[in-house]
Structure 1
Amino acid sequence: MFDVTTLATFVVIVLGLFLIPGPAVLLVLSRTVQGGRKVGVMTGLGVATGDFVHTLFAAVGLSALLMTSALAFNVVKYVGAAYLVYLGIRAFLAKPSDPSLPTLAPISPLRAYLEAIPAEVLNPKTALFFLAFMPQFVHPEKGSSFVQFAVLGAIFVVMSSLYTTAVALSIKPLGRMLKRVAWLNRWQGKIIGTIFVSLGLKVAVQQR
């Protein structure tokens, strides 16, 4: 179905894209600081799951609607932006779990995973990326287009999961250091909330 050259080119391009930090990486970083490595890893898996949903949408042609319909693009864009802003406001207003230890209330790994999925799915820029990027490696004459989309999407998801896991694991020393700084602990929720709100505003102003 795929020759070695095609797959190698796909992998190299994806690796290059990962080297440019985007909203997904910031989401993983902020969740890791908030809840630890396991929460960070599960957030990355949630992002990867959202990416695979985009792959399936692209495979069946649903993402094409976002490219041809300004209304559809704007609806998805503003819903996604509102969701990120909602997460940010909730983190910003969260009360410390222990008054004697002014840190942001912890989040469970499962909750981090479930919240990361819609955050990624509701990013129309991601949908357009998959629609514009994936078809360059899909050749109908070599078999089912849907299967080719699914295979490429699975490769992307695995690579994304490995990358975000590495990001989450690599900042553990930084997280320990931050926990020793009292004023950063006190403002942790405000910092994370600001990141989420900023991501939401970035999604809101992006154009097709």
Structure 2
Amino acid sequence: MFTTEFLITSLVVVLIPGTGVVFAVSTGLAQGRRASLFASLGCTLGIVPHLLATALGLAAVMHTSALAFQLLKYAGVVYLLYLAFATWRDRSAFTVQPVQARGGALGLVAKAFFLSILNPKLTIFFLAFLPQFVQPDTGSPLLQLLGLSGVFMVMTFGVFVLYGLLAHAFRKSVIESPRIQAWLRRGFATAFAGLGTQLALSER
């Protein structure tokens, strides 16, 4: 079940920069190492609803229902464009802001969670990707699916944390340069807008 092919493919998929990676990196730069951990946790938890949809067969319904896919897709587009707008308009300086307050930590986790849950491509990914590695004659397909998904989620969390920590490592040079901060904000805003546009124009 946990073949080398599965592990390598999953790692490649997780390493490819997407909305979660951009959010983890921007959070690591803007709010520090601890904040990036909460952002990574939220992005990882956002995988759970997609996993459940796949396991319960709802993904198959969404895969064949153009309306269901379009509704979820455009909800994701709106959220990404909102993040792009908010990031572009933000003029506050990057400062060291350890996430200590309960509300702050939960807010980051919730924001990252909704970022992942509003990505219909994740459900389609689970529907198309995970079943290829399930071996019906070696045990319960559902348990295998859950196991494969668990490994994928651990990989996701680990890689996102690494991205966030790398971003945190560059904080000092970023914090000391308002000009770099401005360009980074524009870059992150453009990335969110680009991802939203790509999602809006994507087919199934």
**Distance change >3 Å, CA 105–CA 193, structure 1 → 2:** farther
Give ranges in structure 1 of 5+ residues lacking alignment: 97-101
Preserved contact between residue 56 and residue 150 of structure 1 (Cα < 8 Å):
no
Q: Supply the distance in 1 between the matched residues of 2:17 and 2:178 (Cα, whole angstroms).
A: 28
- For 2:21, the equivalent position in structure 1 comes to 25
SS of 1:63's equivalent in the other structure is helix
Q: Supply the distance in 1 between the matched residues of 2:49 and 2:122 (Cα, whole angstroms).
A: 11
Q: Supply the distance in 2 between the matched residues of 1:18 and 1:195 (Cα, whole angstroms).
A: 17
Pick one of 7, 10, 21 that aligns with 1:11. 7
Is residue 152 from structure 1 mapped to residue 144 from structure 2 by the alignment? no
Give, in angstroms, the shift of residue 130 of structure 1: 0.8
Preserved contact between residue 32 and residue 96 of structure 2 (Cα < 8 Å):
no
Q: Supply the distance in 1 between the matched residues of 2:143 and 2:60 (Cα, whole angstroms).
A: 18
The one-letter amino acid of 1:67's match is H
Matches within 5 A, 1:65-144: 65-96=61-92, 102-103=93-94, 108-144=104-140
SS of 1:171's equivalent in the other structure is helix
Preserved contact between residue 28 and residue 168 of structure 1 (Cα < 8 Å):
yes
The one-letter amino acid of 1:9's match is E
Give, in angstroms, the shift of residue 190 of structure 1: 4.3
Give, in angstroms, the shift of residue 186 of structure 1: 4.7
Is residue 34 from structure 1 mapped to residue 30 from structure 2 by the alignment? yes
How many residues in Structure 1 have an aligned counterpart in Structure 2? Answer: 199
Q: TM-score, normalised by structure 2?
A: 0.86
Preserved contact between residue 27 and residue 39 of structure 2 (Cα < 8 Å):
yes
Give, in angstroms, the shift of residue 51 of structure 1: 1.7
Preserved contact between residue 38 and residue 109 of structure 1 (Cα < 8 Å):
no
| Cα RMSD, aligned residues only | 2.3
Give, in angstroms, the shift of residue 143 of structure 1: 2.6
Preserved contact between residue 94 and residue 104 of structure 1 (Cα < 8 Å):
no
Is residue 202 from structure 1 mapped to residue 164 from structure 2 by the alignment? no
Deviations 1:6-42 (A, max 9, x none): 4333112112223332232122111211211112121
SS of 2:53's equivalent in the other structure is helix
**Distance change >3 Å, CA 166–CA 103, structure 1 → 2:** closer
Give, in angstroms, the shift of residue 135 of structure 1: 0.4
The one-letter amino acid of 1:163's match is V
Give ranges in structure 2 of 5+ residues lacking alignment: none
SS of 1:21's equivalent in the other structure is coil
Q: Supply the distance in 2 between the matched residues of 1:185 and 1:19 (Cα, whole angstroms).
A: 25
The one-letter amino acid of 1:133's match is F
Give, in angstroms, the shift of residue 69 of structure 1: 1.2
SS of 1:207's equivalent in the other structure is coil
Give, in angstroms, the shift of residue 164 of structure 1: 0.9
Pick one of 41, 45, 48 that aligns with 1:49. 45
Q: TM-score, normalised by structure 1?
A: 0.85
SS of 1:177's equivalent in the other structure is helix
**Distance change >3 Å, CA 11–CA 186, structure 1 → 2:** closer
